[in-house]
Structure 1
Amino acid sequence: MDIYQIVSFLAASVLLTLLPGPDILFVVAQSITSGWRSGVAVAVGLCSGLIIHTSLVAFGVAALLAKIPIALTGIKAFGALYLLYLAYMSWGEAGLALAKTGGKQRYSKLLKIGFVMNVLNPKVLLFYLAFLPQFVVAGGNTALQVFTLGGIFFIQAIVIFSIVAFFAGLLNRFVEQSPVGRYIGKIKSIIFVLIAVNLFWL
């Protein structure tokens, strides 16, 4: 790959990452309700899932899965059920005081949630399968190029998500001091349900 291809891929990746979608919505929501550090934890988890998708594309597994609709439907179903489970668990949260407890354990949990959400989203896998090969040069080491592109996408995504988390986190204090803070659990629950609907039906 030459520098032109890398710059072109990076520009396209940044634009795609900035488009409104379930992942960035979750990062924003988590940052507003629990602070920017929580948003970054979710972002790291979401982006870590991209490593799995990159590997599946590089080794040809993604192409095989794309030919088995029932497999993709199964992954979507598991993903949607997991999100609905998170919605159920969030519904009873009392407010921001609860959301802010837990320290490192809470960040680890958020990272895990982001990772599982991303891995169980076959739309990301199919996107990678369609997007990454467009920038692969014929005649070169395909797997190495895919991993390189995946690495570039990973880095820019985590940088952008972290910036978004920081600025969304600035609203945390406003939300904390407003009556909305009492309903954080229910708001998060609704967000999880909307993401589940987007994953399975849209």
Structure 2
Amino acid sequence: MDSATLISFLALDLLLVCVPGADWAYVITAGLRGRSVGAAVAGLVSGYALHTALATAGLAVLVAGSPTLLTALTVAGAAYLVWLGWSVLRRPGVPEAGGTVVTGGGRVFLRGAVISGLNPKGLLLYLSVLPQFLVTRGAHLPVPAQTAVLGLLHMACCAAVYAAVGVLARAVLGARPAAARAVTRTSGAAMLGIGAFLLVQRLALGG
């Protein structure tokens, strides 16, 4: 695996990570509701760490070859997004103008891990995009090691981008409760909408 391959993967991966989705919505919501951005980001990254470990062990190939298993994972992730988005819309709490309170770090971490662990976009990356950058002939590193390297690059991109998004959202909107509440509601609606779309799409394909 040469530097050109790594740079190409990094460029594409950054593009995918920078596209707003469920991960963005969650880290923005966590920050604006006075929860730990660090815990939210760590949870999201840990979900992708699981993806990386499974892909390195070769289990990603098994999932890709099992439409039933892939459908089950996608439906589970979509249903969780619908529930979480609805919860945010019902209670769009935001930090007070005077400051923020960091609460529930463990719960924030676990929710982040579940969201990224079941994120259909993450499944797509590990099952469809990442394998295209693996060198199978004449490579200095075996395929599992290459998979681990690319997975770690993805995790680093996620950590950097999501941390920046969460911190900027809190810094810009933390003293603007009305605007923060609107963004929180938008994030909740995005999670609910993404989850509902994926549920309908996957169930329609399954049917």
Whether TM exceeds 0.5 here: the answer is yes
Larger helix fraction of residues: 1
Match of 2:131 among 130, 133, 136: 133
Alpha-carbon offset, residue 196 of structure 1: 1.6
1:148 Cα deviation after fit: 0.8
Secondary structure of 2:135 counterpart: coil
Q: What is the CA–CA distance in structure 2 between the aligned matches of 1:124 and 1:180, rounded to whole Å?
A: 27
Matches within 5 A, 1:1-202: 1-31=1-31, 33-34=32-33, 38-93=36-91, 95-96=93-94, 101=101, 103=102, 106-139=104-137, 140-176=141-177, 178=178, 181=181, 189-202=188-201
Distance 1:179 1:55 in 2: 39
CA contact (8 A) 2:95 2:174 kept: no
Identical pairs, percent: 30
Instruction: Decide whether aligned partners of structure 1 residues 40 and 5 sit closer, same or farther in structure 2, where only a CA change above 3 A counts.
Output: same
* 3-state secondary structure, aligned to 1:95: coil
Which structure 1 residue ranges, 4+ long, deviate > 4 Å from structure 2?
183-189
Q: Deviations over 1:57-93 (max 9, x none)?
A: 2222122212222212212222233233334544553
* TM-superposed deviation, 1:28: 2.8
Q: CA deviation at 1:197?
A: 1.8
What RMSD, in angstroms, separates the aligned Cα atoms of the two structures?
2.8
List gaps (5 residues or longer) in structure 2: 202-207
How far, CA to CA, are the matches of 1:26 and 1:91 in structure 2?
12
Distance 1:122-1:93 versus aligned 2 partners, 3 A rule = closer
Structure 2: which amino acid aligns with 1:190? A
Matched AA of 2:174: R
CA, structure 1 residues 193+137, in 2 after alignment: closer, same or farther (shift >3 Å)?
same
Q: How many residues align?
A: 195
Q: Separation in 2 of the partners of 1:94 and 1:122?
A: 25
Give the Å deviation of 1:141. Answer: 0.6
Q: Which TM-score applies when normalising by structure 1?
A: 0.80
For 2:204, the equivalent position in structure 1 comes to none
* Distance in 1, Cα, partners of 2:28 & 2:184: 15
Separation in 1, partners of 2:120, 2:60? 9
Is contact 1:121–1:199 with CA below 8 Å preserved after alignment? no
The 2-side partners of 1:15 and 1:96 are apart by 29
Q: In the superposition, relative to structure 1, how do residues 180 and 123 fare at CA in structure 2: closer, same or farther (>3 Å)?
A: closer
| CA positional deviation for 1:122 | 3.8
Of 86-95 and 153-162, deviating more is 86-95
- Three-state SS of the structure 2 residue aligned to 1:171 is helix
Output the amino acid matched with 1:156.
C
